[in-house]
A and B are shown apart, each in its own frame.
Chain A
């Protein structure tokens, strides 16, 4: 969690982009801006919904029924889309001491092995998430009128973003091994 928590806002993503080929750099900028815009929209929406619910309950004695389910849905999306941003910012908590002490070549091999294992997990998430989409079309989501599909689709989408960001980190580790860090 060190990297992002020390700074005012995520900056590693912008620095990493400089190490990508020109076209990829442009695609990356568009993708990150788009995802951040969605995250901002989601975050603003749940703050607004919950605040309005409290105001409405106390001032007008009226509870807005959909707030609880809507906010929970948005939270799942917020977490799963945000996980990719956290990966690029090296924000996911890990144990880096041993890897940091290895010689450059051994370090790179260990790093890429770790990336490969992480990729397996992301692929499992994608596979599992896609499997839930079919049943999700006909099943409701607990405590709401929302179809499970709208919750479940965040998982494969989040997994695809995670795979993309991992690919960026792996590319940077291969092309610029001196600055590579564990994800």
Chain B
């Protein structure tokens, strides 16, 4: 089994994509070491992809892309600018709040930075904020995306680990996501006052504010329809994502009139390319998980960990620490697919609730997105803002420290993740 893991590591080091490295090792092991019937590999991959909830991933990616093309996001930013522009730190608050609201649409940190990053950084620098602060805040606030529902990372987690409710996960993420965002808002306020950042704008007249609010309303309704539909039991996750896509198309064609048939085509092709990355990872991950299960590696690992410590909190803290370190080297999605099915059953043996473990896992892995040396969001933001990644790495540290503090809080206080899902019956 060590050979299998070393083979994966070797392929990753020479630049083989994670899905193909895991797939090569897994398929070769099944075909040539275990000597199983060749169709087994195909069956395991098809079985992993054969899931109705998994449809939500391409649909959410499509929805985020269409919302941007439909001109819904610039309207939201304009509205936030009107409301917050007269406050000291207003543009910084706008950055955090726009990411929180957009999180309800796209559900990924990378989409948040790709869609809103440039606008947010430009608005902040035009309002007199240093570009480094603007870039660091943009990268940090995007991490709220995968925690605030709906979250693509949570859907992937729930599919990788069986017996976890996606709706429950969404609700479990609400309070930690809010804590991260509120902490970032407080830090923005403190920075803006201390360094006298930003140029204040006048309060808009009631008429313009009302008109802009009306223009922004369709966007605010989108997360209400999507998340409200799931939590209220009106739709399944996949249905809510499809309704979200249909709603965005209707708004884009008939209200903002910014969408064209070409945008629908582009959104579908974009969604196919991005979501198939997740599909390949899930397929390859399923091969590995199956090999590890039939060879009882999960059991051996569980025995080893239980021998190391019997304390559930210490186990959670160790997992969080390991994921924070791993997150610095690998993207969050492959970490979730490769390790969550292995560690979640062990967490159950410790008596840790599935939802609490999932949130600790996802948030710890997500923080890696903004941590050097390979934090993908960190590098994207550095490219958009035109600042060196090493300077951005330092500027983002206070925000990362707060996010790590939130991880520590959800490790020690289970109610932060469990109270809301229990209240809503998940």
Contact = CB atoms under 8 A, between A and B. Distances in A.
Q: Do A and B come together as binding partners?
A: yes
Interface of A: 1-2, 4-6, 8-10, 36, 39-40, 43-44, 46-47, 50-51, 53-54, 68, 71-72, 75-76, 78-83, 85-86, 89, 91-99, 110-111, 113-114, 117-118, 120-121, 124-125, 127-129, 131-132, 135, 142, 151-152, 155, 182-183
Nearest to B330: A95
A38 B160 CA distance: 28
Interface string B223-261: 000000000000100110011011000000000000000
Nearest to A121: B24
A183 B54 CA distance: 25
B379 A2 contact: yes
Contact of A155 (B40, B42, B373, B380): B42
Nearest to A75: B55
Interface string B372-399: 0110100110010000000000000000
B273 interface: yes
Interface in B263-306: 264-266, 268-277, 279-281, 283
A54 B31 contact: no
Nearest to A43: B268
Interface of B is mostly: helix
A44 to B, nearest CB: 7
Contacts of A75: 49, 51, 54-55, 58
Chain B interface size band reads 35 or more
Contacts of B20: 92, 117-118, 121, 183
Nearest to B24: A121
Contacts of B52: 68, 71-72
Given A79-B283, A117-B14, A121-B20, 19 more contacts: A6-B380, A6-B383, A39-B268, A44-B264, A54-B242, A54-B243, A75-B54, A75-B55, A79-B275, A94-B18, A95-B12, A95-B329, A118-B16, A125-B27, A125-B41, A132-B42, A151-B46, A151-B50, A182-B16
B45 interface: yes
A169 to B, nearest CB: 12
A161 B396 CA distance: 41
Contacts of A6: 114, 380, 383
B89 interface: no
B49 A79 contact: yes
Interface of B: 11-21, 23-24, 27-28, 31, 37-43, 45-46, 49-52, 54-55, 58-59, 62, 110-111, 114, 235, 238-239, 242-243, 245-246, 264-266, 268-277, 279-281, 283, 329-331, 333-334, 373-374, 376, 379-380, 383
A81 B273 CA distance: 9
Contacts of B235: 54
A39 B269 contact: yes
Contacts of B380: 2, 5-6
B150 to A, nearest CB: 15
A114 to B, nearest CB: 5
25 contacts: A5-B110, A9-B270, A10-B269, A40-B264, A46-B55, A47-B246, A54-B239, A54-B242, A68-B52, A78-B275, A79-B283, A83-B279, A83-B280, A85-B273, A89-B273, A92-B18, A93-B334, A111-B15, A114-B16, A120-B24, A120-B28, A121-B23, A125-B42, A155-B45, A183-B17
Contacts of B13: 95, 98
A125 B22 CA distance: 13
Given A79-B49, A82-B272, A152-B42, A94 B17 contact: yes
B15 A110 contact: yes
A67 to B, nearest CB: 9
A9 B15 CA distance: 24
A158 to B, nearest CB: 9
A6 B264 CA distance: 18
A4 B239 contact: no
B112 to A, nearest CB: 10
A92 to B, nearest CB: 4
A76 B52 CA distance: 10
Given A93-B18, A93-B331, A124-B31, A47 B245 contact: yes
B276 A83 contact: yes
Nearest to B27: A124
Contact of A82 (B41, B276, B283): B276
Contact of B274 (A1, A120, A152): A1
A131 B281 contact: no
A86 to B, nearest CB: 4
Given A76-B49, A128-B27, A128-B38, A1 B331 contact: yes
B36 to A, nearest CB: 10
Contacts of B27: 121, 124-125, 128
